[in-house]
Amino acid sequence: MSSDCIFCKIVAGQIPSKKVYEDDLVFAFHDIHPQRPVHILVIPKQHLCSLQEATPAHEAALGRILGIAGKLAAEAGSPGGFRVIINNGEIGCQEVPHLHAHIVGGDQPVGPMLKRQD
Ligand code: 5GP
Ligand code: ZN
């Protein structure tokens, strides 16, 4: 655990969250500012800043995040599909430095992947 990391504190129960799933490797909870009707964050329990720092030792947790995404999306109300977003580092516009996959969806298409620049 990283002592000054808000998502480590959520895993530890020191900051409250609306938990939707937990196992030995990952923890999932509702985003505090949902961007779509379904907006869940799935994080590795072990602190990892971003994919920039990922090594083969993180593959089990990273695989679990993707492997559980469809079940979590369907159970949260997005059975027709969803998007997974992982922002990494400054260029990726990551705000919280504990890796998290956003699972966003609902009953309407979530929209274009990125705002077009041309
Ligand atoms: P990022 O921009 O780093 O990819 O996304 C960070 C996400 O974390 C944002 O969508 C933000 O709403 C969410 N978030 C930040 N702090 C908290 C918190 O304390 N609790 C929850 N549930 N979500 C948070
Ligand atoms: Zn952390």
Distances (CA, A) of 8 to 26, 83, 100, 102, 106: 11, 24, 11, 16, 27
Residue 104: its pLDDT value, please? 98
Q: Is 100 a catalytic residue?
A: yes
Residue 1: its pLDDT value, please? 75
Ligand nearest the Cα atom of residue 8: 2
pLDDT tens for the chain, residues 1 to 118: 777 999 999 999 999 999 999 999 999 999 999 999 999 999 999 999 999 999 999 999 999 999 999 999 999 999 999 999 999 999 999 999 999 999 999 999 999 998 878 7
Q: How far is the CA of 60 from the centre of ligand 1 (A)?
A: 23
Residue 3: its pLDDT value, please? 78
Q: How far is the CA of 94 from the centre of ligand 1 (A)?
A: 10
Residue 58: its pLDDT value, please? 98
Cβ of 29 less than 6 Å from ligand 1: yes
Contacts for 2 with CB less than 8 Å, ≥ 6 apart: 8, 47, 98
Residue 97: its pLDDT value, please? 98
